[in-house]
Structure 1
Amino acid sequence: MTALEKHLDERDLARSLRADVREGLTGTPKRLPPKWFYDARGSLLFEDITRLPEYYPTRTERAILEANADRIAGITDAKTLVELGSGSSEKTRLLLDAMLRRGTLGAFVPLDVSESALLSAVASLTDAYPGLSITGVVGDLTRHLRHLPDGDNRVVAFLGGTIGNLVPDERAAFLGDLRAALHPGEWLLLGADQVKDPGVLVPAYDDAAGITAEFNRNVLHVINRELRADFDPLAFAHVARWDPDHEWIEMRLRSTRDQQVHIRDLNLTVPFTTGEELRTEISAKFRRAGLTAELAASGFALRHWWTDPRDWFGVALAQAV
């Protein structure tokens, strides 16, 4: 059985894009949220990034899940698996397989902002797991957690280190909203990239082949297409920088010349000076103690923590208390 619940449509996305672009490009410093990287082209570029030799998070997290999926299934006895920001749900198949082997799982609920990506994932998973009830939810994980289908003994998976794209206040709000959507005793499975040598971190966001640079500039292509802007993406250089005070990577686009960008649908002209930077993403890195404290502040108790031999990436299993 499959179903699709929509809490977001093209008009919602258009309004959100307009608001984010106007607020971000008229602010000081200029900024844009990373969710606008991910049109069809951006999603393909990110898939390419995950296969790069410099980009360790995807393969490292997958190895952790491969080693511990059966244990996660045994600890949680999950009847429903929810995945936030599901995309293609490839890594989640490790969890689905383990939970089905356990014999407890009856339902899978992927949530994603992209209806097309969700439909593709749901169709693929329906073919692979014909006996599983699958309900896709089109929604924004920062706005629509209250609409997650209720269930019995749910495990919510938020993988890929994506929680690092939220600044601390946003993380607190997200975790608080998620805790409010769960019953006591239900679970959060969280992938978190860890603080490490900047010599490892920075190349992961600034690869030698330039694919991350093209991914970063894709947000300008999106704005050009959707809001009739005239960004010249090649007039912006990709920048990836480690911020040791905040312990996060910042991705930026640096203007290579004085220029003015016209965004026709917003009736907005945005000036850039040579060297001025536009922040497009943060990717916070975590320490176990700090993440444990953030979870506790939102009503989650860390029950288990798994990592890789180099201690580069962590997968936390926390319980709503």
Structure 2
Amino acid sequence: MKDVAENSELLTDALAGLRAPQKILSPKWFYDRRGSELFERITELPEYYPTRTEAAILRANADRLADLVPPAGALVELGSGASVKTRTLLSAGEHFGAYVPIDISEDFLLATAEDLRVRYPDLAVHPVVADFTGPIMLPKVVGETPKVGFFPGSTIGNLDPSQAVALLTRARAWPGVEGFILGADLVKPVSDLIAAYDDAAGVTAAFNINVLNRLNDETHADFDLSAFRHEARWLENPARIEMHLVSTRAQTVDLGDARITFAEGESIHTESCRKYTAETLADMAARAGWSVAETLTDPETRFAVAILRPV
């Protein structure tokens, strides 16, 4: 008798995605503890410009951005991870009343929250374990508190257009919301984009393939990790990078009570990373009930931090 999966939600989602004509796995499953640690390593790679570019924008505009949060207000971050870039705003926002980090990786989130409480003893830190692609119940203690959303890292580009609009629409409905700080990667030369998602050290490849390792650990699947390779692809229309795990041979994988077959060269689409222009960014915001009040960029216009206001 096959072992019962330890993560039934992951198993259900994976079975649905891997039975589709184009096999898919949701990028939300990247972020177990090892996946979160690997992503933090990715952000330090020389090829991965988004993190350091956005961090420079945040540092250069820290006071301006922190001032968006009213006195005793709350900063609410979606997909907070290790809250590394957020510390720039927390350090500038001595007037903040609360910080609400939201992340799907519970162990990683709670450890980060505890570290922040030590670093910022006057700040109330209220972590929420949740998937930001769905409805989120904010802590009651910040229910009516004036608040500003924070979604850095161009993670918005990992969502399909309807999901991105839905996320921003839900944030627009938060009680007391006064603004939203959104990181968005911009369209640029394809060679720069491909390198950012297929680094020479292979860290992104390890991050991508870790989702199969997670399936093995948490659903008792039997993926042979050596039989898949990482691949980054650029699609001109829509403007996005896709990450795939490509089967290097014909094979069959046991997953739950199913057998998933792969042809040689068949791929699992694990992530899409949309790149924006000023026009597509403004259109997305408008469809969710926001206007782009200001756009902060680096000198080379590689990345944008957009300040959204409710309309």
Same fold (TM over 0.5): yes
SS in 2 for 1:208: coil
- The answer on whether the counterparts of 2:42 and 2:48 sit within 8 Å (CA) in structure 1 is yes
Distance, in Å, in 1 between the alignment partners of 2:96 and 2:292 is 22
1:222 aligns with 2:218: no
1:98 aligns with 2:92: yes
1:236 aligns with 2:228: yes
Shift of 1:271: 0.4
Unmatched segments (≥5 aa) in structure 2? 1-5
Shift of 1:159: 0.6
After TM superposition, the score normalised by the length of structure 2 is 0.94
1:57 aligns with 2:50: yes
Q: Deviations over 1:122-181 (max 9, x none)?
A: 111111111111111111112233435424321110011111110011112111111122
Distance, in Å, in 2 between the alignment partners of 1:151 and 1:64 is 30
Distance, in Å, in 2 between the alignment partners of 1:162 and 1:314 is 12
Distance, in Å, in 2 between the alignment partners of 1:151 and 1:23 is 38
Alignment map for 1:163-312 (pairs within 5 Å): 163-183=156-176, 186-263=178-255, 266-312=256-302
With 284-293 and 73-82 compared, the bigger mean Cα shift is at 73-82
- The answer on whether the counterparts of 1:145 and 1:178 sit within 8 Å (CA) in structure 2 is no
Distance, in Å, in 2 between the alignment partners of 1:202 and 1:89 is 26
Percent identity, aligned pairs only? 47
- The answer on whether the counterparts of 1:80 and 1:151 sit within 8 Å (CA) in structure 2 is no
Per the alignment, residue 8 of structure 1 pairs with: none
Please, which of 12, 26, 32 is the counterpart of residue 33 of structure 1?
26
Please, which of 10, 18, 28 is the counterpart of residue 11 of structure 2?
18
Please, which of 136, 142, 145 is the counterpart of residue 145 of structure 1?
136
Per the alignment, residue 9 of structure 1 pairs with: none
Shift of 1:76: 4.2
SS in 1 for 2:81: coil
Whichever residue aligns with residue 17 of structure 1, its letter is L
Aligned pair count?
303
Distance, in Å, in 2 between the alignment partners of 1:42 and 1:146 is 25
Whichever residue aligns with residue 226 of structure 1, its letter is E
SS in 2 for 1:245: coil
Shift of 1:182: 4.1
Distance, in Å, in 2 between the alignment partners of 1:127 and 1:147 is 22
Per the alignment, residue 5 of structure 1 pairs with: none
Distance, in Å, in 2 between the alignment partners of 1:221 and 1:76 is 40
Say what the alpha-carbon RMSD is for the aligned residues.
Answer: 1.4
Shift of 1:278: 0.9
Name the CA shift for 1:76/1:136 in 2 (closer, same or farther; >3 Å): closer
Per the alignment, residue 10 of structure 1 pairs with: none
